Amino acid sequence: MFAIAATLLVLELRVPRDVRDLGGALLGSWPAYAAYVVSFATIGIIWVNHHVLLDHLRRVDRPLLYLNLLLLLSVAIVPFPTSLMDEYVLTEHGTIAAVVYGLVGLLIAIAFSSIFLYATRADGLCADATTARRIREEGRLFPIGLAAYVAGIALASPSTASSSSSTPSRSSRRLRARRCLSRASGDGRARARNSRTR
């Protein structure tokens, strides 16, 4: 599941079409590249930590399986906020996109922390009590990650949106282009009618 979610991220890296300046178009797509790198790193780090944790378990039980489902649910959502960040981070909706991205990251952190705490405290899941104690000591910094996501969401500043509100999203640019085309075609038809009446 981790590999599938990471692979789906690359679908947001679109090839520019019908452009005169390919280099400029590629550079202008930097939000997509940044969102891809951050999301891929998030999924990769969670996968590594999850793999290392499971290596120390002797068995699993039903509650642990349900907690793993919660983690898979949150990881599978990652491509959606990644696409939001790509599309809207430089628009007036950038704050909302950043908050949604942070909420998904917070959900992932909560899910993995739940797995970590349950696996290292439930009787008989780890190989032995010494291993469980050592793993818990190594995971003392996990609450910092949770606090960082909460702080990031709280600090998703409206100034980001206001400073970049003049940059339209791809969807708004497409809508504006359609309006211009329809206006131009309407003007052309009007000129044709005027010429016929003359």
Residue 71's pLDDT is what? 93
pLDDT: which is higher, 146 or 89: 89
Q: Which two tokens stand for residue 59?
A: 């068995």
What tens digit of pLDDT does each residue of 81-132 get? 988 988 888 888 888 888 898 899 889 989 998 898 888 886 778 877 777 8
131/79 Cα distance (integer angstroms): 35
Give buried/exposed letters for 61-87 (b at 16+ CB in 10 A, else e).
eeebeebbebbbebbebbbebbbbbbb
Judge whether 89 and 30 are in contact, CB under 8 Å.
Answer: no
| Global pTM value | 0.68
Mean pLDDT of the chain: 76
Q: Which of 45, 165, 28 is nearest to 93 (CA)?
A: 165
Sequence-separated (6 or more) residues with CB below 8 Å from residue 42: 78, 105, 108
Could you tell me the residue ranges of all domains in the chain? 2-167, 169-198
For 25-65, the pLDDT digits (tens) are 788 888 888 888 988 988 898 898 888 888 888 888 899 99
Residue 181: pLDDT band (50, 70, 90) is very low
Mean pLDDT, to the nearest integer, of 123-145? Answer: 76
- Using the predicted structure, report yes or no on whether residue 14 has a pLDDT greater than 50: yes
DSSP state of 91: S
